[in-house]
Amino acid sequence: MNNETNQPTTTFGIVGFPLSHSLSPLIHNSLYKDKGMNAFYQVFETREFDRSIVWELQKSGVSGLSITIPHKERAFALADQADEPSQIMKASNTLVLKKDSINAYNTDGEGAYRSILEWSPESFRRGKTLILGSGGSARGIAYSLATSGNISELILCSRNENTGKEICSLISENSSTKAVFVDPKEIFSYCEEISLIVHTTPLGMKGQAPGPFIEEEFFDSSMTVFDIVYNPLETPLVKAAQNAGAKIIPGSEMLLYQAMKQFELFTGVIPDSTDIQKTRERLSVALANR
């Protein structure tokens, strides 16, 4: 007899705004079902995010939260304990809610790094890495790439000069990678030095301004481009890069790998290669039907 049925359901969920297009429930709920876990993953859409909201969710039995735009910096600030990427970069995309503490983690960076290693490891070696944007996702990704040992120089380009320079300072202070901020108006002069571009802003996302962040003339066939937007997979930035012959890493890969690490943090179970492949196929079907 399966004792799981006698246990109360463990509840997890996602916090952010907007969330109508989130595929996180599909990922997590399908894995719970595959593994016979008595767990459920819900959507908690909210413009605001503060300790009282976390407390209400804790009180209602929620054990873990995925955090997305625009609450990643706030999630870190609310935590009692945090992993190293969160502490250094001051942003978290995962909260594990204990009885007497809120524990923060950042799986964005690991998700991006694993995606690049799988799809285009050579892009680390050919030239410099360019990160577009300076929000919560950029923080975790910049940290993981900078501490991977695979890149010596990182260029960060964002419209917000203050946050862009802050990220560069944090990277330079906490890794052996040299991080340089470049204003969007100046970025074109760096195009020949760059082999990997990671776009982390909401531009091109369904319901957001289309972009692209940089013009088609910037790209060439020696580059790898990774736009972490996955809805739609072919953003204006991706189309521009494709037209120039650049190699593309699908944004859904970042979603996949950061969710695998979240699943492990939530449940204590490490997903295996079958779980990863099944989830990739589910994402592919879901995105094809949008």
Active-site residue numbers?
A: 72
Residue 240 tokens, joined: 């521009």
Q: Is 245 annotated as a binding residue?
A: no
Q: Is 61 annotated as a binding residue?
A: no
Q: Is 22 annotated as a binding residue?
A: yes
Q: Is 20 annotated as a binding residue?
A: no
Q: Is 134 annotated as a binding residue?
A: yes
Q: Is 284 annotated as a binding residue?
A: no
Sheet holding 62-67, edge to edge: 39-45, 10-16, 62-67, 94-97, 102-105, 81-82
Q: Is 84 annotated as a binding residue?
A: yes
Sheet holding 153-157, edge to edge: 178-182, 153-157, 128-132, 194-199, 224-227, 247-249
Q: Is 230 annotated as a binding residue?
A: yes
Q: Is 221 annotated as a binding residue?
A: no
Q: Is 68 annotated as a binding residue?
A: yes
CA distances from 27 to 7, 40, 94, 282 (A): 22, 11, 15, 8
Q: Is 23 annotated as a binding residue?
A: yes
- Secondary structure element (H or E) that encloses residue 255, with its range: helix 251-267
Q: Report yes or no: 93 and 86 within 8 Å, Cβ to Cβ.
A: no
Angle between helices 24-34 and 273-288 (to 10 degrees): 140
- Secondary structure element (H or E) that encloses residue 132, with its range: strand 128-132
Q: How many CB atoms lie within 10 A of CB 135?
A: 18
Q: Is 108 annotated as a binding residue?
A: yes
Q: Is 16 annotated as a binding residue?
A: no
* 3-class SS of residue 10: strand
User: Closest Cα partner for 97 from 10, 7, 180?
Assistant: 10
Binding-site residue numbers for shikimate are 22-24, 68, 93, 108, 230, 258
Q: Which residues are part of a known binding site? A: 22-24, 68, 84, 93, 108, 133-137, 228, 230, 251, 258
Q: Binding site for NADP(+): which residues?
A: 84, 133-137, 228, 251
